[in-house]
Amino acid sequence: MWNARKSVILSIVLLYTCAAVLLASCFFAPFVIQRLTRTDGSYTFGLLIFYICVGIAFIAITLLHRLLHNIRCEQVFIPQNSRLLRYISWCCFVVCILTFAGGFAFYSLFLVCAAAGFMGMILRVVKNILSTATALKTENELTI
């Protein structure tokens, strides 16, 4: 029977898969970017943007892992989770800014920029909802 616990485990498995794909992409990135670029300057720039974004993605994955760990321990409405969501949303915004700069060299990066910005915005909304829910839960617990 499908339940919340299995859902969290599936999320963790997907997170590990994502991390593995990201790690693998680090090895293939130089070849792919070389095929996409014509000059040495744009190749170096593209590679730099890619590796910075991968670094930020790994930070976001680590934060997501901590968030899922808290959820698994049935600690959902705690201030730490709101903080983690805020950090993840900032990761998205940093990637958004980086890919916006990179977009002038590789136009397709504007799509990544829009996606990262939108994701960051959604995460901020979820973070605001979670903060309100945490405050409500605290108030409810302290109502005698």
Partner 1 sequence: MKIIVNLDVMLAKRKMSSGALAEQIGITQANLSILKTGKAKAIRFSTLEKICEALQCQPGDILKYEK
Binding interface with partner 1 (CB under 8 A) = 138-139, 142-144
Instruction: Please list, in sequence order, all residues whose beta carbon lies within 8 angstroms of the beta carbon of residue 102, skipping any fewer than 6 positions away.
Output: 45, 46, 49, 109
CB 143 to partner 1: min, Å = 4
Q: Which is nearer to partner 1, 40 or 139 (by Cβ)?
A: 139
Q: Are 117 and 93 in contact (CB under 8 A)?
A: yes
Query: 87 near 63, Cβ under 8 Å?
Result: yes
- Smallest separation, CB 84 to partner 1 (Å): 25
Of 80 and 138, the one with the shorter C-beta distance to partner 1 is: 138
Q: In 3-state terms, what secondary structure has residue 80?
A: helix
Residue 8 and residue 71 in contact, taking contact as beta carbons nearer than 8 Å: yes
Task: Please report how close the Cβ of residue 142 comes to partner 1 at its closest, in angstroms.
Answer: 4
**Least distance (Å) between residue 134 CB and partner 1:** 13
**Pick 1 or 142: Cβ nearer partner 1:** 142
Q: Which is nearer to partner 1, 7 or 132 (CB)?
A: 132
Q: Give me 72's structure tokens.
A: 């698994």
